[in-house]
Amino acid sequence: MSAQHLDWTCAFAARMQGRSVESSRYSARIGRIGQSFAADVKAGRLPYLTMPYRAELEKELPPILDRIRPYKHMLLLGIGGSALGARALQKAFYPAQDRPGHSGPSLWIADNIDADTLGAWMGSLEPKDTVVVVISKSGGTIETMAQYFIIRRWLKKSLGAVWKEHVILVTDTKNGELRAEAQNESLLSLPVPDNLGGRYSVLSAVGLLPAGYLGIKWRDLLEGAASTAAPLIVPESGIAKALTAHSAWSLAVWAGELIEHSYSELIFFSYIPLWNYFGAWFSQLWAESLGKEGQGSMPVPATGVTDQHSVNQMFLDGPRNKGCLFLTCDTLDKGEAFGADAPEKWNWLADKRFGDLLRAEALGTRMALHKYGVPLVNIVMQSADEYAAGKLMGLCMSATILTGLLLGINPVDQPAVELGKRLANARLGAPGLREETDSLAAFTAAGGKAEFLQEF
């Protein structure tokens, strides 16, 4: 089989033995899930799937990319879903920035509260050569807004009134502080479409603006994702048949079986080296969508072959609570051939190429995981280009949505995340958070007692 596909050979291992997607009790829910899924699509609640914003984005983005192409640097201010997708695309399709002799454009992603690094960027980057992209759907993300306030002052100090030409805001179409900032300061902006949460937003301006700046084929990413989504955009009368034939449904049913059989962790093991940051992107997608009401499974990103020499011991011989999505591509460049100059001990490598080692290691790890009873689905990519990456992202997002529906939870909200944000804001003195302020006072008072402290 030459096209990308899922290999189910090792999918129902150990205590799942004897089950299959077709025999799973979750498959019997396809009628109800199909109705809910089709209703969400029709109501516009799954824009990552239907991409109603695509035509407008393809119209708006090219002139903006032409405008910012002369800048040597892009400084992206964003966190979570506003940064993880962009970083995955950068690492996958713009590896030149991390290699010797780089002279092209550079993308710097400020995705944490790191005063040292932010200061280093302000000390090293020339404001006149830098475009700053601020990404926040709500326009109220404290980490991103705090960075923006500091960077805005840096730009104004160096550039004066023309600082505005160096800023692009990516935010809600109507509401929030960044939308108000765009209007008040006449700043260039791009929308985050309605109902498109951060973890599902990589194939909007959130991820495609930085990708396009780096010269990544962003239209191919869109096209790849659309090709995965298209079979699912059907009338309700045909959705059950469409789901039955779709890999996303199969993965959702398998994920449900994993959880039912007490496999509480899901490894995302990438053996496409440049795609290793897709693991971090997937982890947020899966965890933030499904970790609700005591349900879900913990995503664990892993990189082949690096993690064979670190955490793979735990995967193989630790608690039997792990399933695995295994990512491979058989068409990767094999690189240099081994010559006849290797020591005699290694002469069996003489007719091999360097990339053969990656393929052999992937096969060995996959077999070892299976031997130790780890249920595993191998995602086999036909290529590792942008179109293929779009297909993979579309598959992962669709499977996540369907898994949430199977578990009976809302896969597009993240209620628990908001508590930590409110507490952090209260700690800094934000108004209107009396309950959180009282909770902080009690918590910090308890933590300061001598009986709870131990020196080391």
Q: Annotated active-site positions, please? A: 288, 309, 421
Query: What is residue 203's DSSP assignment?
Result: T
User: Which of 397, 407, 405, 406 lies closest to 294, judged by CA?
Assistant: 407
Question: Is the distance from CB of 299 to CB of 263 less than 8 angstroms?
Answer: no
Single-letter code of the amino acid located at 328? T
**How far, CA to CA in Å, does 401 sit from each of 99, 220, 242, 248, 398?**
37, 23, 15, 9, 5
Which helix (H) or strand (E) segment holds residue 135: the answer is strand 130-136
Token pair, residue 184, equals 């008040």
Nearest-angstrom CA–CA distance, 269 and 85: 17
Residue 300: strand, helix, or coil: strand
Closest Cα to residue 61, out of 219, 220, 221, 223? 219
Proportion of the chain in helix, strand, coil states, percent, rounded to 5: 55, 15, 30
CA distance 36 to 232: 13
Identify any residues that bridge with 267 across adjacent strands, giving them in sequence order.
300, 324
Instruction: Please state the length of the chain.
Output: 456
Strand 5-7 vs strand 376-381: parallel, antiparallel, or unpaired? antiparallel
Across 181-329, the runs of DSSP E, i.e. the strands, are 188-192, 265-270, 298-303, 322-329
